[in-house]
Amino acid sequence: MTEVLQVEEGLHSNLGPSSADRWINCPGSVLLTKDLPDSPTRYAIEGTAAHTLSEWVRRDGKKAREYEGKIIRVSRGDLHSDVKVDEEMIDAVQEFVDRVGEQPGDELIEVRVDYSHYVPGGFGTLDSAKLNDGTCYITDFKYGQGVKKEAANNPQLLLYALGVYLDYGELYDIKDFALCISQPRLDHWDDWPITIEALLYWAENVARRGGHLAALPGAPTKAGEWCQFCRIKATCKTRMESVFAAVTGDFHDLDSAVANTEALSTTVPLMTNEEVAKALTAWPWIEKWGAALKTYAMQQIREGHAVGDFKIVAGRSARSWAKEEKEIVAALTAAGVKKEKLYTKPELISPAQAEIIGKPAFAPASEKTVAGPLVTLVNKGTGKPTLAPGSDPRQPLTSDATDSFEELED
């Protein structure tokens, strides 16, 4: 029986290091999202499992491979998710452990640090710190492989360093910090030095200001890469305006944006290469917002709330043979397909290729026609639920059929 190892996610600060890029740049988002539920993605859950494994390996003096095949059960309240320790996780964790093992100093492993002197309510749990008289090393383990992270001016690392200095500065004669990012699955290691003087200047003029603004109702909002993990990323008007302004210019409402786009298409028939470059630069930003918007709309529809005339329908799906090969060959041969055309080396032809007989032979029954004679040879799977406008001819799915759809990752 596979061994299951339990881990409970700890408390998080609304002004924590992992969200610092957002609350420093968009302080208004803190109060706007304060009471909203946070549903972790599978990527976040895998990250928690990998961090937990790295902690166990270092504390117990083991190798990551000793946990191969075990299940790490990540719990958050009543929610439980199982993650299997596989080869990829083993390699990534061991690389991180080996790198921090080369750094000199007394190690802090998954220790909570506090910087509430500058940011009221601010605390976080760092992955690794090596304490020395002189240079102190702060290393953050990134298990994700979506976006490469850099160490320079990284607010998450800066807050870890600040917390370490405030908590341990009297015990060690820390002169400066080396801030490091370990992202093994992207084969990425980055480090950046900062003096104590520069760190405290940043804490006073950047972190303190962001924390102060975040506590104020109506604080300013600003769109950027930090929107990716925000709980209102789909419905935030600031983000919407930023997305459309990137392509169409400033506007005050969606109708204006569409009108601007239509005007461009009639007055300037072709984009210049400079305009193409501008659109390409904005496209990843637009895609992320669009994915979040679709996920939000589908969730609203599943819960019974109308979103205009949009509906959830079955997406396109691939067809496959429903019978044994001998039966399919016999049926197609009887229908007039020559034996030499039944195979595309070395496999049997696909249902789509078999339609050389004629599509009606495989057509399902409808209100006006009977089923084709060969329809039982083919399986037509149900496509993944997708969002479609009311004008789409497909029938909306029932709520039961949409329960298994996964969130579109932003």
Read off the pLDDT of each residue in 214-227 and give the average, rounded to a whole number. Answer: 91
**Mean pLDDT, range 232-251, rounded to an integer:** 76
Mean pLDDT, residues 356-378: 76
Cβ atoms 92, 184 nearer than 8 A = yes
The pLDDT confidence band at residue 265, using thresholds 50, 70 and 90, is very low
Instruction: Kindly state the greatest CA–CA separation across the chain.
Output: 89
Residues 6+ away with beta carbon under 8 Å from 177: 135, 136, 137, 138, 161, 164, 165, 193, 194, 196, 199
102 pLDDT more than 50? yes
Q: Give this prediction's pTM.
A: 0.68
Mean pLDDT value across the chain: 84
Predicted pLDDT at 250: 59
Does 346 sit behind a cis peptide bond, omega within 30 degrees of 0 on the bond before it? yes
pLDDT tens digits for range 193-202:
999 999 999 9
* Residue 190 tokens, joined: 């980055």
User: What confidence score (pLDDT) does residue 268 get?
Assistant: 44
- Give the domains, in start order, of the chain with CATH numbers: 4-214 (3.90.320), 225-307 (no CATH), 319-380 (no CATH)
The helix (H) or strand (E) run that includes residue 76 is strand 71-76
Residue 318 has pLDDT above 90, yes or no: no
Closest CA to 132 of 168, 85, 160: 168
What's the whole-number mean pLDDT along residues 151-180? 96
Residue type for position 407:
E
